[in-house]
């Protein structure tokens, strides 16, 4: 599970470097994105077929096929992000990406429900592999449909390369501000801290707590619903007060989410925790994504996206390796004086440690970089009442809080 989570992402991000280098081979950025999408569509065939044809080598063949999928996925990323940011004003990016992420969240929720129903249908008939085959083929066809829809979009801005193009080494030496360097360190280490626990929630819920698949699906859906409900508010917050402020709040809040798994195992409690996890991750994801666009020159955005993705992937891989080592070394018992905590396995302790690492990263690195845009300035204790969920509660309660002081 750790290798499947880490290696495809790590290998895939290097495709972003290749993507920037070969961008001049394509007549437009849309054409480059189109062929990357076609590659993703075709990749579903080996993901499905290779483990079925050679089941004894199935796990490694699956990892290799998924790595190919992520390679094509990352190949499209610099061109797509460069294209879409050219279409948007700096102060409207937050709302756009929030709406886009909200659409993705709702689509993911519906796809999750349909996939669960499909797998349950075939599992009852002892044909689970047929259910996966149908599901993967549908995924490939849907990706192909998105490529065809991209061809129907006209009037996209042409790509105008810089009159003084620079390579990655020049960009790394002179194109990155001190702000951006510190942001990359924060983002990479945060990914590492998160992935110490990330791949193992599914194992904990299904193997240790013995949740049914519908219970696990509901847990997943709660996170998606949390994202869906709060993404527009996070987007407005980032546009108005800046992505650094967005990262400051969500970077601290995200630290406490995995710690809660030490304090309860009931299904309703964990579903509630994951709902608030979706709320916080919606803001953190937007902030990490949009800060990259603001921190560099427009001509360097494709390079910045690629560098950021590689840094995050390295952090991702480091985190999964550390988590795998901890599984074999941390005992399933926590004792401090007279206080003893004995969860069903050592995974909640690893989740707690992941939260502690997130807190250390946020507390030490968030102060080292600043907002690159001109945004509305507020003290943090005033901004607290502008956060999603809190702002509607303030409005409903009728409290008059003078946030302009």
The predicted model gives 371-386 an average pLDDT of 75
Q: Which of 159-168, 173-182, 286-295 has the lowest mean pLDDT?
A: 159-168
- Distance (Å, whole) CA 125 – CA 38: 33
The H or E element containing residue 238 is: helix 213-241
Residue 93 has pLDDT above 60, yes or no: yes
Q: For residue 255, what pLDDT band results from cuts at 50, 70 and 90?
A: very high
Give the pLDDT of residue 402. Answer: 46
Q: Which of 183-187, 220-224, 353-357, 394-398 has the lowest mean pLDDT?
A: 394-398
The predicted model gives 259-286 an average pLDDT of 92
Residue 2 has pLDDT above 60, yes or no: yes
Q: For residue 341, what pLDDT band results from cuts at 50, 70 and 90?
A: low
- Distance (Å, whole) CA 135 – CA 48: 10
Residue 358 has pLDDT above 90, yes or no: yes
Give the pLDDT of residue 252. Answer: 93
Pick 148 or 175 by higher pLDDT: 148
Q: For residue 403, what pLDDT band results from cuts at 50, 70 and 90?
A: very low
Please write the tens of the pLDDT for every residue from 24-37: 777 777 788 888 89
> What backbone torsions phi and psi does residue 377 show, to the nearest 5 degrees?
-95, 130
| pTM, 2 dp | 0.73
**Percentage with pLDDT > 70 across the chain:** 87
Residues 6+ apart with CB under 8 A from 342: 332, 333, 334
Q: For residue 141, what pLDDT band results from cuts at 50, 70 and 90?
A: very high
**Both tokens assigned to 67:** 């790595």
Q: Which of 317, 11, 66, 345 is nearest to 194 (CA)?
A: 317
Residues 6+ apart with CB under 8 A from 11: 67, 70, 71
Q: At what angle do helices 2-21 and 301-329 cross, to 10 degrees?
A: 160
- Mapped onto helix, strand or coil, the DSSP state of residue 292 is helix
In the chain, the domains with their CATH numbers are 2-152+177-391 (1.20.1250.20)
CA of residue 176 relative to chain centroid, distance: 23
Q: Which of 211, 152, 163, 160 is nearest to 34 (CA)?
A: 152
Give the pLDDT of residue 74. Answer: 83
> What backbone torsions phi and psi does residue 400 show, to the nearest 5 degrees?
-100, 105
Please write the tens of the pLDDT for every residue from 18-67: 777 777 777 777 788 888 899 899 999 998 888 888 888 888 998 889 88
CB-count exposure of residue 3 (10 Å: 0-12, 13-18, 19+): middle
Give the pLDDT of residue 362. Answer: 95
Residue 126 has pLDDT above 90, yes or no: no
- Mapped onto helix, strand or coil, the DSSP state of residue 341 is strand
- Distance (Å, whole) CA 117 – CA 229: 24
- Distance (Å, whole) CA 343 – CA 389: 31
The H or E element containing residue 334 is: strand 334-336
- Distance (Å, whole) CA 389 – CA 377: 21
Q: For residue 345, what pLDDT band results from cuts at 50, 70 and 90?
A: confident
The predicted model gives 296-308 an average pLDDT of 78
Residue 400 has pLDDT above 80, yes or no: no
Q: For residue 123, what pLDDT band results from cuts at 50, 70 and 90?
A: confident
Radius of gyration of the chain (CA): 22
> What backbone torsions phi and psi does residue 336 show, to the nearest 5 degrees?
-135, 100
Give the pLDDT of residue 163. Answer: 46
**Contact predicate 109/218, CB 8 Å:** no
């Amino acid at each position: 599970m750790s290798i499947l989570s880490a290696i495809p992402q790590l290998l895939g991000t290097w495709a972003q470097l290749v993507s920037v280098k070969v961008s001049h081979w394509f007549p437009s950025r849309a054409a480059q994105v189109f062929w990357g999408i076609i590659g993703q569509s075709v990749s579903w065939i080996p993901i499905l077929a290779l483990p079925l044809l050679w089941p004894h080598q199935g796990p490694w063949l699956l990892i290799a096929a998924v790595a190919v999928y992520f390679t094509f996925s990352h190949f499209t990323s610099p061109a797509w992000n460069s294209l879409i940011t050219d279409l948007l004003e700096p102060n409207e990016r937050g709302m756009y990406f929030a709406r886009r992420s909200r659409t993705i969240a709702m689509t993911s929720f519906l796809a999750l429900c349909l996939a669960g129903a499909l797998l349950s249908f075939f599992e009852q008939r002892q044909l689970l592999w047929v259910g996966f085959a149908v599901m993967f083929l549908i995924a490939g066809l849907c990706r192909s449909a998105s490529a065809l829809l991209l061809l129907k979009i006209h009037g996209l801005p042409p790509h105008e390369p810089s009159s003084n193009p620079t390579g990655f080494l020049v960009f790394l030496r002179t194109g990155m501000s001190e702000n951006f360097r510190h942001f990359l360190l924060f983002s990479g280490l945060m990914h590492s801290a998160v992935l110490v626990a990330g791949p193992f929630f599914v194992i904990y819920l299904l193997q240790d707590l013995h949740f049914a698949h519908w219970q696990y699906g509901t847990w997943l859906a709660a996170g998606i619903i949390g994202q869906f409900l709060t993404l527009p508010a996070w987007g407005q917050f980032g546009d108005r007060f800046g992505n650094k402020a967005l990262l400051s709040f969500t970077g601290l809040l995200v630290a406490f989410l995995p710690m809660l798994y030490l304090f309860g195992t009931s299904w309703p409690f964990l579903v509630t925790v994951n709902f608030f996890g979706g709320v916080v991750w919606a803001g953190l994801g937007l902030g990490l994504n949009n800060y990259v666009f603001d921190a560099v020159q427009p001509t360097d955005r494709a390079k910045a996206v690629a560098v950021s993705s590689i840094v995050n992937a390295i952090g991702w891989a480091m985190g999964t390796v550390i988590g795998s080592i901890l599984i074999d070394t941390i005992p399933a018992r926590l004792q401090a004086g007279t206080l003893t905590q004995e969860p069903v396995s050592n995974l909640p302790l690893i989740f707690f440690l992941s939260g502690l690492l997130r807190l250390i990263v946020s507390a030490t690195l968030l102060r080292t970089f600043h907002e690159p845009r001109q945004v509305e300035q507020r003290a943090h204790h005033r901004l607290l009442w502008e956060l999603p969920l809190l702002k509607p509660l303030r409005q409903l309660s009728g409290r008059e809080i003078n946030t302009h002081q």
